[in-house]
Chains A and B, each alone.
Chain A
């Protein structure tokens, strides 16, 4: 307290007095003075100590949930769901809550940087003029077809800008990729939809309206497509005023959190999903009577039972359950699709829905509503398409690679060799907010704002009955010397001149957004409308986006489904080893959450492990191998090997091991680096027919290492598993 206010002689005396005061008042107010900087110009809507709320869009995944962010004096304090947004109706997931730890992360990229050598630590701080010059030069000095954009699944406005830019200038069409899309097997879903219903669209499953739900590997309560919206559906499946409690059956070899909520969890042998689905179809059709549809006629339930490891009685009982309800729904997804026969699985499971003929009916299968301004469903690149890009890089056809919103060096399996290919690209420019692995291999990083500091919009691809365009606006001013990538591109294009300048005739990002939103201004059935674009944009920001008021979900044309032939082939597994390997996306971390300390501290819903990666193993298997909890094992696949501690997990097939994806960063800030391992390192170059990675199509070997690494768990091993309680 002292040196601030006076230097008089009695200071020493006052020091004693202060100590006395501190004792008497319990460290009262007199013990400290601080300085305060008031606003230079207070915004008129703001008062000291009062909160201001802004609507924006969550950028932690691509689902596009609306957020309301509470800010106090220019600091973002708390995110809540936007009650008006039809997608999430005021709810958020854990990642949405923790997005603030990304915003105020101590390890963000603070300035535009030039890296002196790829992979090295040493960087030089640049100013933005120079940075824009670098981008402009990259555009000007290369042939358009040698320039490529690699983008994440969010935000959509930047993707639109890049697409427009590419279309106008002839550079490569931007490629979008995200590990979530890879693990969701989105391409497979849309391909199956195309094969069955003639439209490559993303199906939407109305879980809430159904009475019986069969999910084949879809982890829709965790990360799959739009977890917040699907969780809401699940809640109304279970608790509804208008109908009975619905039944939910999950088919998967490793119990996910979604499987944990199921009434019945069926641990089928990986690869036999299609067979089981068709067998259930057959048995259900039998139970319903009438002619046996062609789709199911060739399947032998007995064979299915033996190949899948499920008892025939169980199959019959499940089939009866499915047939007995007029509101039965079957969902394909997740690991079931990430196998060599993934497309067949998706088709077979979708075909099951034909039994209860639920297409376009409540509790059934729809096509997801297309967002406003969206003509058709555009999925992200499948792994196969990424391989094409990587091949182009290898061939030296790409000289400049712009990367935004994706971290391919972490999210893509090592075996796809993005890292190797990047050496053939002469210039890599990253626009990442965080210093991730790709940033470390990039020549420049021109950091974008954090999602909460950004303008933009995100199309809601699935999860809402209404078409939704979630709007984003900055809720706080940028904390660091970052700049919106859209602004950088626009400025660089202007600088580059010529076709580039013509392609992006905008003053800045906001003007671009206005140009995109203009067509919605007076569209019918919209949640907001306005006469002029400024008013419209104000509403757009105020309400957190624009949505149609009516249900616009598509109805699949399923006339022919039951008359098709379906393949009951089992999946092929690559690699030598006795264990099926199931990687799954960590429900709390997902692909980009590892740098947020509170997400790290959240216990995994199934294992309650925090801050690390583990491998799940059946107790019986562990016992046979002489492995205990926390023993580090080496997992060897054809693509690589990893050392990881074991979590003895009671709900996994004895012939299967599972690992969460989300950790194992070598860069990405202090909370993520050198923590856990990345199961993608074990995945080989195998794809299903739709081009999605067959990430669940590996077989691996396990070796003991003799090391031990205690996993940090929230649960008590004694209380939950009785480990260490002593013999009964």
Chain B
């Protein structure tokens, strides 16, 4: 194939395309996002033993810690943790078969399930520990498979998976917008977690559009990007609040 490729060089400051803003002050830790994600993305449930052994398939988890001791004990603000869709992701270069690559079109970290051979190097190298591995073919007895989302591949054993920012919704919105001859409007669609969140603590949108809601929220002064010091260029901004 003699097709020319112009080498795309990413600059350090390059903004991503899609991003999340998470307000930990109003996140109540209710797990609605976790359930929504599971339902949208065909996540397997793994049962008591495996889930207690660090094998649960949550693409998003809500972290909380404790500060102080009784009676001055405080629960730290709930911290939903999902793939940060790094601009410079440590998980990508280590995959020997290009199963996790950077999407030039959507500026996301892709996980190509059918290419994955299961070395799990990406998960080791993910500073956020947000990748889940299909340790087994987890059973979904009939008729539970009726619920599976046809837009999302059902993963089998031996494959790594992770949050995709609901890329199927991104594609669907873009496809719809294109069919109608317009651009995707901010807020036209959102990820499953953001859509479910009763407190609206998760907001999804274009971070490269200064007018979008996420950009506006992201410009508030006290936002934090986790482990930014590693140079991962994460696309999720956290507000601890308080």
Contacts and interface: CB of A to CB of B under 8 A. Distances in A.
Direct A–B contact present (CB less than 8 angstroms) = yes
Nearest to A266: B71
A612 B48 contact: yes
Contact of A260 (B36, B75, B114): B75
Q: Which of B58, B63, B75, B148 has the most CB of A within 10 A?
A: B75
B147 A100 contact: yes
B23 A239 contact: yes
B39 A100 contact: yes
A239 B30 contact: no
A590 to B, nearest CB: 12
A101 B47 contact: no
Contacts of B159: none
Contacts of B56: 601, 610, 714
Given A100-B39, A713-B52, A650 B69 contact: yes
B98 to A, nearest CB: 13
A92 B36 contact: yes
Contacts of B31: 94, 587-588, 602-603, 605
Contacts of B173: none
A219 to B, nearest CB: 11
B181 interface: no
B46 interface: yes
A363 to B, nearest CB: 17
A72 B35 CA distance: 20
A137 to B, nearest CB: 33
Contacts of A232: 198-200
B195 interface: yes
Given A234-B199, A267-B70, A720 B28 contact: no
Interface residues of A, number: 79
Contacts of A653: 70-71
Contacts of B45: 597-598, 600-601
A59 to B, nearest CB: 16
Interface string A225-240: 0011001101100110
Interface in A210-234: 221-222, 227-228, 231-232, 234
A536 interface: no
Interface string A125-150: 00000000000000000000000000
B73 A651 contact: yes
B144 A261 contact: no
Contacts of B242: 245
A49 B150 contact: yes
B86 interface: no
Interface string B22-59: 01011011111011101110010111110111001010
B122 interface: no
Contacts of A231: 28, 30, 198-199
Contact of A611 (B47, B63, B199): B47
B39 A598 contact: yes
B30 A94 contact: yes
Interface in A371-392: none
Contacts, number: 202
Among B63, B70, B144, find the residue whose CB has the most chain A CB atoms closer than 10 A. Answer: B70
The residue among B43, B47, B69, B147 with the most chain A CB atoms within 10 A of its own CB is: B147
Contacts of B108: none
B66 A650 contact: yes
A234 B199 CA distance: 7
A75 B151 CA distance: 13
B62 interface: yes
Interface in B76-123: 78, 114
B196 A80 contact: yes
Contacts of B142: 106
A620 interface: yes
A65 to B, nearest CB: 9
Contact of A710 (B52, B64, B199, B241): B52
B30 A267 contact: no
Given A75-B146, A714-B58, A605 B196 contact: no
Contacts of A255: 73, 75
B48 A79 contact: no
Interface in B1-36: 23, 25-26, 28-32, 34-36
Contact of B66 (A221, A588, A651): A651
A227 B197 CA distance: 12
B198 A26 contact: no
B206 to A, nearest CB: 20
Contact of B61 (A26, A598, A618, A714): A714
Nearest to B57: A601
A254 B40 CA distance: 34
A97 B35 contact: yes
A596 to B, nearest CB: 9
Contact of B32 (A92, A260, A611): A92
Interface string A80-118: 110000001011111111101101111000000000000
A597 B139 CA distance: 11
Nearest to A65: B198
Given A227-B30, A587-B30, A712-B52, A81 B196 contact: yes
Contacts of A96: 32, 196
A620 B69 CA distance: 10
Contacts of B149: 77-78
Interface string A585-628: 00110000000011111110110101110000011100000000
A640 interface: no
Contacts of A620: 70
Contacts of B144: 101, 104-106, 597
Contacts of A103: 147
Contacts of B199: 231-232, 234-235
B196 A654 contact: no
Contacts of A76: 146-147
A711 interface: yes
Given A232-B199, A588-B31, A98 B39 contact: yes
Contacts of A221: 28, 30
A708 B74 CA distance: 28
A670 B56 CA distance: 19
Given A106-B144, A238-B26, A91 B196 contact: yes
Contacts of A79: 39
A557 interface: no
A601 B73 CA distance: 27
Contacts of B58: 714
Contacts of A612: 48
Contacts of B241: 238-239, 245
Contact of B147 (A104, A222, A239, A610): A104
A568 B134 CA distance: 57
Contacts of B52: 610-611, 710-713
B233 interface: no
Given A72-B150, A77-B149, A712-B52, A104 B196 contact: no
Interface in A247-286: 255, 257-261, 265, 267
A659 to B, nearest CB: 18
A712 B64 CA distance: 16
Interface in B147-200: 147-150, 192, 195-200
Contacts of A261: 28-29, 75, 78
Given A101-B144, A235-B26, A651-B75, 12 more contacts: A91-B196, A92-B196, A94-B31, A96-B32, A96-B196, A97-B32, A106-B141, A222-B30, A238-B26, A245-B25, A608-B64, A611-B51
Q: Which A-B residue pairs are the 9 nearest by beta carbons?
A: A712-B52, A260-B75, A611-B48, A97-B35, A94-B35, A235-B199, A231-B198, A605-B29, A601-B45
Interface of B: 23, 25-26, 28-32, 34-36, 38-40, 43, 45-49, 51-53, 56, 58, 61-66, 69-71, 73-75, 78, 114, 141-150, 192, 195-201, 241-242
22 contacts: A75-B147, A77-B148, A81-B195, A91-B198, A91-B200, A93-B30, A94-B31, A95-B35, A227-B198, A231-B28, A231-B199, A257-B29, A259-B75, A261-B29, A261-B78, A602-B34, A603-B31, A606-B64, A606-B75, A610-B56, A650-B70, A712-B49
